[in-house]
Amino acid sequence: KPVRKLLASDQGGPGRFLAYALAKASRQWRRNAAERMPEAKGDVRIALMGEDPLFVVLYKLYRAYGRVFQLSFGPKSFVVISDPKALKHVLVDNADNYTKGLLGEILDFVMGDGLIPADGELWKMRRRTVVPAVHRKYVAAMTEMFSECALRGVDKLDASIGTDLPEKGSGKSTSLDMESFFSRLTLDVIGKAVFNYEFDALSKDDAVIDAVYTLLREAEYRSITLLPYWRIPGVSRLVPRQRRCEEALTLVNGTLNTLIADCKQMVEADDEKFMEEYLSKSDPSILRFLVASGDDVTSKVLRDDLMTLLIAGHETSAAVLTWTFYLLAQNPKVAAKMRAEIDAAMPDGPSALTTDDISNKLRYTTRVIYESMRLYPQPPVLLRRSIEEDMVDGYKVRSEADVFISVWNIHRSEEHWGKDVLDFNPDRFGPLEDPHPNEVNTGYRFVAFGAGKRKCLGDMFALYENVVTLSMLQRAFDFELVNPDEPVGMETGATIHTKGGLNMRVRRRKDSSGGNGTVTSDDDLLNQMKMGKWE
Ligand code: HEM
Ligand code: RET
């Protein structure tokens, strides 16, 4: 105000110069004040040491400190972003100023120079090489395989029904940890898709499967120990785990190298024009595409990318299915509406689905998956590191600052989604004609697959895989929580897990033809049991 007054009374001469200088200083002062980012302090450290997973602590802090704030511990500090515009700035508008930062440190041991942690020219080159492998036609071909794997899952569940004591009047059931079921099912899917490898994790445990799980657990362990790096001094605590992890890496790498070599031989023996033939082959795997399109099979980046795809495709889909089933169990109206759609799409029981079926007959089911990814985004937080100083939402972000973009916070923000933000409501995305919410058509409020140049390249693959698996299982069975009144709890690694598994009771649906296409009712089942078929 005084500056404005001075300006108003300015009649020229030295007064004019003084007014100008004061106005400039005032603007500078205001800018500096605005640039001072809210800082979470006090007992934040205690909160972070507590029971809540990191992303839940960040949600509480977001509600206290707002959409961009800084979290500091002694010399360490990082910026937490919970705002669509700020997210867009970092991931899209000024994306070249950010690297994957900590993510590389967390995932280096298993992904090396793979696409997720890679930066700069290497990333650009690999993205250009890998993206064509997951084009539309490949995803359509894969959808057939998703159906096969899901049907195998249906058979597995079907075979285990009857292992629980029947409750009065409720028919035979089985109770099992669906989280672990989904983890095995999605491992089978991604093994086939990436390198045409049959893990068959739904049926067996073997050394390679064990080794893959050791690596996954290690990646998750590093996410939670290296990430809140204030928790442990250095990485010394990792050392005792190191050997087991090394052994697992050796085994999985060995398997990958064999698969690469086999594939190379196969492609070389094939004198037809590969690119045209690719999709009609019995194994249109990503590996086959990369080898045939000239990727150097001796290169470490090829192996790193295969491992990256294996982990990225496996962990995320398993988590999405787990939380979708949890949400459906708690929201029977949504479940019933979805069921009606699924039953109409597969009137005679579980059967193979195509991408056309998904696009035309399973739009609400598609929305169920998206809405589940809104409430439980996997991973809940994205990581970046600034290269040069930047301005985000009017605040200064220093160079080499670690930035956490909380997708969880954006997806659960009342400001952006309204009062019913926590409701599981697949209808919230509007008319079903276009069932695909994305960053652009939601103004960066829905960013389950990220945004900008580092956006997930497996988004359609993942969506179809999840819709097919969800539909098939729901067509065949009824699912309910074994302990509906007990919260499942959350734990974070790279993705969100339940605390003690997703324990569900599974019953064959009376109107379903079941996994082997022969069981139509409990009576049928009983007869068959008498004949020893289900023993
Ligand atoms: C990147 C989510 C499935 C491959 C990402 C990112 C997200 C994401 C959020 C961005 C990470 C960042 O910005 O830091 C998901 C979810 C999935 C899924 C929720 C399942 C529901 C898949 C599948 C594949 C895949 C099936 C492979 C077939 C990748 C790759 C990247 C990536 C290679 C790195 C892309 C790049 O940096 O250029 N994913 N993903 N993802 N995802 Fe996915
Ligand atoms: C996945 C595959 C999809 C893309 C990315 C991955 C890794 C994410 C990590 C996130 C860690 C987040 C944490 C948040 C805590 O609140 C899931 C492998 C980027 C490692 C620990």
DSSP string, 405-446: EEHHHHHT-HHHH-TTTTS--GGGG--TTS----TTTTTTS-
Kindly give the number of the ligand 1 atom that is closest to the alpha carbon of 465. 26
Ligand nearest to the CA of 225: 2
Mutate to test the pocket of ligand 2, among 212, 220, 316 (most ligand atoms within 8 A of CB): 316
Could you tell me if the CB of 312 is within 6 A of ligand 2?
Answer: yes
Compute the distance from residue 445 Cα to the ligand 2 centre, in Å.
Answer: 19
Cβ–ligand 1 contact at 464 (below 6 Å)? no
- Tell me if 493 CB under 6 Å of ligand 1: no
Q: Are strands 490-492 and 395-397 parallel, antiparallel or unpaired?
A: unpaired
450 lines ligand 1 (CB under 6 A): yes
Q: Directed axis angle between helix 102-111 and helix 239-269, to 10°?
A: 60
What gap in Å lies between CA 74 and CA 417, rounded to an integer?
36
pLDDT at 171: 72
133 lines ligand 1 (CB under 6 A): no
Cβ–ligand 2 distance for 315 under 6 Å, the answer: yes
Asked if 143 contacts 468 with a C-beta cutoff of 8 angstroms, the reply is yes
Nearest ligand to the CA of 324 is 1
Q: b or e along 360-370 (b: 16 or more beta carbons within 10 Å of the residue's beta carbon)?
A: ebbbbbbbbbb
Is the bond preceding residue 379 a cis peptide, omega within 30 degrees? yes
Q: How far is CA 17 from CA 12, 28, 431, in A?
A: 8, 17, 60
Q: What is the atom index within ligand 2 of the atom nearest the CA of 406?
A: 16
Is there an atom of ligand 2 within 6 Å of 494 CB?
yes
The pLDDT of residue 45? 66
CA of 381 from ligand 2 middle (Å) equals 7
Using the mean position of ligand 2's atoms as its centre, give its distance from the Cα of residue 203 in Å.
Answer: 28
Residue 55 near ligand 2, beta carbon < 6 Å: yes
Q: Is the CB–ligand 1 distance for residue 317 below 6 Å?
A: yes
**Residue 227 CA: which ligand 2 atom is closest?**
21
Distance CA 42, CA 51 (A): 18
Whole-number Å distance between alpha carbons of 482 and 175: 7
Q: Name the closest-CA residue to atom 38, ligand 1.
A: 454
Ligand nearest to the CA of 462: 1
Among residues 377, 372, 369, which one has the least CA distance to residue 409? Answer: 377
227 lines ligand 2 (CB under 6 A): yes
Ligand nearest to the CA of residue 287, numbered in listed order: 1
Which atom of ligand 1 is found nearest the CA of 378? 19
Question: What tokens were used for 36?
Answer: 């001072």
Residue closest via CA to ligand 2's atom 9 equals 494
The residues pairing with 490 across neighbouring beta strands, listed in sequence order, are 498
Ligand nearest to the CA of 382: 1
Predicted pLDDT at 531: 33
* Ligand nearest the Cα atom of residue 469: 1
Nearest CA to ligand 2 atom 16: 55
For residue 14, the model assigns a pLDDT of 56
Asked if residue 84 has its Cβ within 6 Å of ligand 1, the reply is no
For residue 195, the ligand closest to its alpha carbon is: 1
- Going by CA atoms, what residue is nearest to atom 7 of ligand 1? 449
Helix H or strand E encompassing 257: helix 239-269
Q: What is the pLDDT of residue 27?
A: 66
CA 108 to ligand 2 center in whole angstroms:
13
Q: Which atom in ligand 1 lies closest to the alpha carbon of residue 127?
A: 38
Structure pTM?
A: 0.88
pLDDT confidence of residue 512: 60
Please state the φ and ψ torsions of residue 314, each to the nearest 5 degrees.
-85, -55
Check: CB of residue 61 under 8 Å from CB of residue 228. no
pLDDT at 241: 73
What does the pLDDT profile of the chain (535 residues) look like in tens digits?
Answer: 343 443 344 445 556 666 676 677 666 655 665 568 999 876 666 666 677 888 999 999 999 999 999 988 666 788 999 999 999 999 999 999 999 999 988 898 899 999 999 999 999 999 999 999 999 989 999 999 999 999 999 999 999 887 766 665 667 888 999 999 999 999 999 999 998 999 999 998 889 999 999 999 888 888 877 665 544 455 545 566 778 888 999 999 999 999 999 888 888 876 555 555 555 556 789 999 898 888 888 888 999 999 999 999 998 999 999 999 999 999 999 999 999 999 999 999 999 999 999 999 999 999 999 999 999 999 999 999 999 999 999 999 999 999 999 999 999 999 999 999 999 999 999 999 999 999 999 999 999 999 999 999 999 999 999 999 999 999 999 999 999 999 999 998 899 999 999 999 999 997 665 444 343 444 443 333 333 322 2
User: For the chain, what is the total number of helices (H) and then of strands (E)?
Assistant: 21, 13
Contact at 8 Å (CB) between 291 and 264?
Answer: yes
CA of 522 to the centre of ligand 2 (A): 44
Residue nearest to atom 7 of ligand 2 (CA): 494
Which tokens is 207 given?
């050394």
H/E segment holding residue 395: strand 395-397
Is 68 touching ligand 1 by the criterion CB < 6 Å? Answer: no
